[in-house]
Chain A
């Protein structure tokens, strides 16, 4: 009765009428996958996979594959055995047909240990949209890099840069306000509208970085028309323990060093269910070296920390998370031209003004001078949930974020009394509150899904020294209701569909520059989004997913009211307060092959965006005190994005792995039948890796070499840029790594060399292409040290 009551309350909360769903288990789901050796990556045949609760099991075939059919939805303890390997105990929640890869560590130490690894198989709300992940060793190789650069490892993801320190992810050619970043489940709200505003996230908090490569407005509302980046920390430990890990990174180019530590644990007895984690990162770098010169004032400093406490019981849980991010980024001193004439002159020079190393050693290599950004971001998130067998799970999340960005120009402002000597020229403060309530109902007639509502409000305050505000102050409110349902009639087929309705209200507060009187403008937007998708598994190795959905995005305050020079590009940008919302229609499909020797993911997409907002050259000139500037207006057109992502892993022999990747993007303006600006060029990557189980007393030894091929971008519209896109380039890289067992912990080391040949190149997606070359060769050393205080013998929990 109580369950019924809770359910009814829930229905009332959403204001919908629903007939009482008879909770009936549908045991038609399947768990399939592969078992491989952690160290050698070889497939393991005849390994036993056993579900404790249902006493069901299966063994892997000669290809290392297994399939357990007829499973009811729920959370299961699963044990995986294979002779010569440690037993793996893990928890998996199954809500749809689930495919997993179990990694079994070899038991060559002859210690009677049981390895408990927490394999998080999270329920995907929309599972037919192509998603790629970066975790484990792949993620480890990106440690010390910023979020944008780390995500470049994923096919279909590029970056847009303002020098080597500011990188923003680009998914299928879309970036900034067109993609969403979820920081531990909360949509990150910073000043995303700026091309040189990097995401305020410490990638060290994540044990998994995922990218949803397609419209996800159905789940997240406005802005997610290009895709979603998920920055996900590991789940907090469940059983009594105290452990952690330390990551250290050093790099010769820019003399970067980074250290990040995690300490986590859980309690038992009276405090059973209580767990915690604290984490902190320090990252600092000096001036970046290109093959021929040092880039003045390109240092960075980052100080981040986060903490989480959770109390979780069988039927309910509460989780509180806080994170703080602070960064200072030096802006390359000679990355600004006062006018296009000067920009052209800079571009024709062989090298920007630069100083020898001795100059920096004397002045302080890590010193960040004026011409920098200081950004701090705070996030407080609280989640509470209740769940019962027949009812499902009801989860409420509340989050508050503050984002504060100060931009200091090269020179101190002109002032009589010196009172502004340390003032930033621009100061942006954004405060965001979000709340979400989601009910994930249990499977009913093979149908599972979620019903939810979200609310957001933001207040943006600009204070600065510019004559007119760079972006106006504003307040907005937004809300949405969604329903996403999935039908799994058997273990091969999934059909899903969703619908969502959103409303957004925004009011800007501005000053009339002549009368200095305040006035306001208000916009309201309504949008309905829908998605439909299906996936079918033809065999244990081959599956196909297809999805069609739409998305929307309200124009940003910058696009509505910009008026001024874009420092990096020399364009005079003019906003348009009458811009309508962007609507996208996204079709994507992905073909997955997961054989024992070959794993391949082929994704294809078509994204049509109506009212796509872009900067159009007006071919007129604006004269101001700095000189003459070509005027670009924000305007709307219909745009078409299509492309292919390919990601292959081919185990040529058990030791030798070949990993090619390709990212192809074609974008067109459907109105003018021309091209669009700032679309990433094609990208091809190759990697060949050889591994040894043991070599000279070291474990898990690998050596690899690879290249990155980027042809020149030739698909650019005329009159949109002062200089043609840079030439194509090929970069080579190589790395070696191994691990050493110290006190039962695998300490891993790797050395990575990027731009091995010290190639001089410039990249079309980097605004600094006008001023300077990209960084030269760099050698990085990465060390990962896991540690464990207790338990010391019986169980080992690792963060992965």
Chain B
């Protein structure tokens, strides 16, 4: 009989200590919310900047921007507009930035210069250039500009044979018209073949286009 009581006692002690252990062992690590590490880069801003080859003062810079990817607010497309002059040729560059760490006042300006970024803005274009062998920028026109605006990629990667990348482009502009240009960065590990079909999108943004 003594044995039984001892055992029961043991059992009770075990249960209680288990419960205590379970409560005590909670390290409360859930109470510290860890944001994403600062070295991780988000794509927040996609810029398409073109310079008239015949008149370098004729520039157009379209900025598509979603600063807070976890906000339900729509992206800021107020500056996502390209304005070209008819019958011209432009040299264009694609810039991808991470402005999620940038103080609001220092956001990139329409008179944008890639060499003059706020110190907290990250130029993700460099990373994409480093991974150019499986990236491809694609353009798609809709509206009346379809027959009046052609964007051709001018840069090549180091695949064998080399394939186009599209971070550097030439835009050929014809008659006055308006429309919309879709610009997408395709992510194509193992399957880059020069076409826009394979892979997923790192970004897929739209710019309004006016040709004067």
Interface residues of A (CB under 8 A from B): 2, 5-6, 9, 296, 315-316, 333-334, 336-339, 342, 353, 355, 382, 384-386, 388, 394, 396, 398, 400, 410-411, 413-417, 419-420, 423, 431, 433-435, 437, 455, 457, 459-461, 463-469, 472-475, 509-511, 513-514, 516, 518, 563-564, 574, 622-627
Cβ-defined partner of A625 (8 Å) among B32, B127, B204: B204
B1 to A2, Cβ gap below 8 A?
Answer: yes
A457 to B23, Cβ gap below 8 A?
Answer: yes
State A337–B4 Cα separation when bound (angstroms).
65
Query: Chain B nearest CB: distance from A638 CB in Å?
Result: 28
Q: Which B residues, 183 to 207, have Cβ-Cβ distances below 8 Å to chain A? A: 184, 187, 189-191, 198, 200-205
B29 to A510, Cβ gap below 8 A?
Answer: no
Of the stretches B42-50, B110-118, B149-157, the one at the interface is B42-50
B36 to A624, Cβ gap below 8 A?
Answer: no
State A9–B37 Cα separation when bound (angstroms).
53
Q: Which chain A residues border B28 with CB–CB below 8 Å?
A: 459, 475
Q: Which chain A residues border B190 with CB–CB below 8 Å?
A: 296, 333, 355
State A315–B6 Cα separation when bound (angstroms).
13
Cβ-defined partner of B11 (8 Å) among A386, A455, A510: A386
In the complex formed, the residue of B with least CB distance to A417 is B39
State A473–B124 Cα separation when bound (angstroms).
29
State A388–B7 Cα separation when bound (angstroms).
12
Q: Which B residues, 1 to 15, have Cβ-Cβ distances below 8 Å to chain A? A: 1, 4-5, 7-8, 10-12, 14-15
Top 7 nearest A-B pairs (CB, nearest first) are: A468-B70, A433-B22, A338-B201, A398-B18, A627-B204, A414-B41, A473-B30
Of the stretches B54-62, B71-79, B84-92, B166-174, the one at the interface is B71-79
B36 to A466, Cβ gap below 8 A?
Answer: yes
A420 to B39, Cβ gap below 8 A?
Answer: yes
19 contacts between A and B (CB under 8 A): A5-B5, A333-B190, A338-B202, A353-B198, A386-B8, A394-B8, A398-B21, A414-B40, A415-B39, A417-B39, A431-B26, A459-B28, A459-B30, A467-B70, A511-B33, A623-B75, A624-B69, A624-B75, A625-B202
A9 to B8, Cβ gap below 8 A?
Answer: yes
A2 to B5, Cβ gap below 8 A?
Answer: yes
B75 to A437, Cβ gap below 8 A?
Answer: no
A465 in contact with B18 given A459-B28, A625-B69 (CB within 8 Å): no
A459 to B29, Cβ gap below 8 A?
Answer: yes
B201 to A435, Cβ gap below 8 A?
Answer: no
Cβ-defined partner of B15 (8 Å) among A435, A467, A473, A624: A435
Query: Chain B nearest CB: distance from A78 CB in Å?
Result: 28
In the complex formed, the residue of B with least CB distance to A516 is B35
Cβ-defined partner of A415 (8 Å) among B33, B40, B205: B40
Say yes or no: is B106 at the interface (Cβ < 8 Å to chain A): no
Q: Which chain A residues border B22 with CB–CB below 8 Å?
A: 398, 400, 433-435, 455, 457
Query: Chain B nearest CB: distance from A568 CB in Å?
Result: 12
State A111–B22 Cα separation when bound (angstroms).
53
State A342–B1 Cα separation when bound (angstroms).
75
Say yes or no: is B158 at the interface (Cβ < 8 Å to chain A): no
**Size category, B interface:** 35 or more
Query: Chain B nearest CB: distance from A152 CB in Å?
Result: 31
A336 to B41, Cβ gap below 8 A?
Answer: no
Say yes or no: is B160 at the interface (Cβ < 8 Å to chain A): no
B187 to A410, Cβ gap below 8 A?
Answer: yes
Say yes or no: is B68 at the interface (Cβ < 8 Å to chain A): yes
A396 to B14, Cβ gap below 8 A?
Answer: yes
A339 to B204, Cβ gap below 8 A?
Answer: yes
B187 to A411, Cβ gap below 8 A?
Answer: yes
**Interface contacts beyond A410-B187, A513-B71: sample of 7 additional A-B pairs, CB < 8 Å, sorted by A:** A353-B198, A386-B7, A396-B14, A455-B19, A467-B42, A511-B35, A624-B69
Cβ-defined partner of A623 (8 Å) among B5, B19, B74, B98: B74
A396 in contact with B204 given A2-B4, A420-B37, A474-B30 (CB within 8 Å): no
Q: Which chain B residues border A355 with CB–CB below 8 Å?
A: 190
B41 to A413, Cβ gap below 8 A?
Answer: yes
Say yes or no: is B119 at the interface (Cβ < 8 Å to chain A): no
B203 to A625, Cβ gap below 8 A?
Answer: yes
Cβ-defined partner of A513 (8 Å) among B43, B70, B201: B70
Cβ-defined partner of B100 (8 Å) among A315, A455, A467: A467
In the complex formed, the residue of B with least CB distance to A625 is B203
In the complex formed, the residue of B with least CB distance to A6 is B8
Query: Chain B nearest CB: distance from A439 CB in Å?
Result: 12
Q: Which chain B residues border A414 with CB–CB below 8 Å?
A: 40-43, 98, 124, 127-128
A514 to B33, Cβ gap below 8 A?
Answer: no
In the complex formed, the residue of A with least CB distance to B204 is A627
In the complex formed, the residue of A with least CB distance to B182 is A627
Say yes or no: is B141 at the interface (Cβ < 8 Å to chain A): no
Q: Which chain B residues border A437 with CB–CB below 8 Å?
A: 15
Query: Chain B nearest CB: distance from A330 CB in Å?
Result: 13
Query: Chain B nearest CB: distance from A712 CB in Å?
Result: 29
B5 to A518, Cβ gap below 8 A?
Answer: no
Q: Which chain B residues border A339 with CB–CB below 8 Å?
A: 201, 204
State A33–B33 Cα separation when bound (angstroms).
58
State A100–B126 Cα separation when bound (angstroms).
71
B41 to A384, Cβ gap below 8 A?
Answer: no
A316 to B7, Cβ gap below 8 A?
Answer: yes
In the complex formed, the residue of B with least CB distance to A476 is B30
Q: Which chain A residues border B27 with CB–CB below 8 Å?
A: 459
B26 to A457, Cβ gap below 8 A?
Answer: yes
Query: Chain A nearest CB: distance from B32 CB in Å?
Result: 8
Q: Which chain B residues border A457 with CB–CB below 8 Å?
A: 22-23, 26
Say yes or no: is B105 at the interface (Cβ < 8 Å to chain A): no
A398 to B69, Cβ gap below 8 A?
Answer: no
In the complex formed, the residue of A with least CB distance to B71 is A513
B201 to A510, Cβ gap below 8 A?
Answer: no
Query: Chain B nearest CB: distance from A336 CB in Å?
Result: 5
Q: Which of B40, B71, B122 has the most CB of A within 10 A?
A: B40
In the complex formed, the residue of B with least CB distance to A316 is B7
Say yes or no: is B94 at the interface (Cβ < 8 Å to chain A): no
A475 in contact with B46 given A464-B36, A626-B203 (CB within 8 Å): no
Say yes or no: is B144 at the interface (Cβ < 8 Å to chain A): no
B33 to A473, Cβ gap below 8 A?
Answer: yes
Q: Which chain A residues border B36 with CB–CB below 8 Å?
A: 464-467
Query: Chain B nearest CB: distance from A561 CB in Å?
Result: 11
B14 to A473, Cβ gap below 8 A?
Answer: no
B8 to A415, Cβ gap below 8 A?
Answer: no
Query: Chain B nearest CB: distance from A760 CB in Å?
Result: 22
Q: Which chain A residues border B42 with CB–CB below 8 Å?
A: 414, 467
B30 to A475, Cβ gap below 8 A?
Answer: yes
Q: Which chain A residues border B41 with CB–CB below 8 Å?
A: 413-416
Query: Chain A nearest CB: distance from B14 CB in Å?
Result: 6
Query: Chain B nearest CB: distance from A571 CB in Å?
Result: 15
Cβ-defined partner of B25 (8 Å) among A415, A433, A516, A623: A433
Q: Which chain B residues border A473 with CB–CB below 8 Å?
A: 30-33
A625 to B46, Cβ gap below 8 A?
Answer: yes
In the complex formed, the residue of A with least CB distance to B18 is A398
Cβ-defined partner of B200 (8 Å) among A410, A419, A455: A410
Say yes or no: is B175 at the interface (Cβ < 8 Å to chain A): no
Q: Which chain B residues border A296 with CB–CB below 8 Å?
A: 190
In the complex formed, the residue of B with least CB distance to A336 is B200
Query: Chain A nearest CB: distance from B45 CB in Å?
Result: 9
A396 to B15, Cβ gap below 8 A?
Answer: yes
State A516–B30 Cα separation when bound (angstroms).
16
B33 to A338, Cβ gap below 8 A?
Answer: no
State A402–B201 Cα separation when bound (angstroms).
35
Query: Chain A nearest CB: distance from B106 CB in Å?
Result: 16
Query: Chain A nearest CB: distance from B181 CB in Å?
Result: 14
State A315–B98 Cα separation when bound (angstroms).
68
Query: Chain B nearest CB: distance from A321 CB in Å?
Result: 14
In the complex formed, the residue of B with least CB distance to A468 is B70
State A414–B131 Cα separation when bound (angstroms).
10
Cβ-defined partner of B44 (8 Å) among A9, A459, A625: A625
State A464–B18 Cα separation when bound (angstroms).
32
In the complex formed, the residue of B with least CB distance to A574 is B72
Query: Chain A nearest CB: distance from B47 CB in Å?
Result: 13
Q: Which of B14, B22, B68, B75 has the most CB of A within 10 A?
A: B22
